[in-house]
């Protein structure tokens, strides 16, 4: 018997897919669309402001589509450099999420799910 996904898991998966779709299924740093030997696209969605901040967790401006290499070896291993890249590549998104950094919210997961499904 399959365990039912929580509202948070459903919204997280929808957000990750929306970030990838918004980047046309290409890594925003290197422009590649990596695939495995079966043709499955291998991309990851990265939060600029960590997902523990619920005010920005599901904002599209807070998401970056990355290949594994750029996610692990750039975004996580050189966070300051990656932040600089983000600020120059997407200045409007940088300003938007920076303004939300300290905000506290109570998420309405049903609304978030509807909004993400519409993307």
- What does the alpha-carbon distance between residue 9 and residue 65 come to, in Å, rounded to a whole number? 18
Residue 56 has pLDDT above 80, yes or no: yes
For residue 113, give Cα distances in angstroms to 34, 41, 67, 91: 27, 23, 25, 27
Quote the distance between the C-alpha of residue 85 and its chain's center: 15
On whether residue 2 sits in a domain, the answer given is no
Coil, helix or strand for 35? strand
- Classify residue 62 as exposed, middle or buried by CB count within 10 Å of its CB (0-12, 13-18, 19+): buried
Residue 51 has pLDDT above 80, yes or no: yes
On whether residue 88 sits in a domain, the answer given is yes
On whether residue 78 sits in a domain, the answer given is yes
Q: Tell me how many domains the chain contains.
A: 1
Predicted model pTM: 0.88
Give the domain range for residue 43.
Answer: 7-113
- What does the alpha-carbon distance between residue 1 and residue 11 come to, in Å, rounded to a whole number? 22
What average pLDDT score do residues 89-98 get?
95
């Amino acid at each position: 018997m399959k365990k039912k996904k929580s509202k948070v898991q459903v919204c997280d998966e929808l957000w990750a897919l929306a970030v990838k779709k918004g980047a046309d299924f290409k890594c925003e740093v290197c422009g590649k669309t990596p695939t495995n030997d079966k043709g499955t696209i291998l991309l990851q969605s990265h939060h600029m402001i960590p997902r523990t901040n619920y005010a920005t967790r599901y904002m599209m401006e807070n998401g970056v589509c990355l290949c594994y290499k750029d996610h692990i070896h750039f975004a996580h291993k050189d966070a300051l450099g990656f932040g600089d890249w983000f600020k120059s590549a997407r200045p409007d998104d940088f300003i938007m999420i920076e303004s939300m950094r300290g905000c506290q919210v109570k998420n309405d997961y049903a609304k978030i799910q509807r909004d993400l499904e519409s993307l």
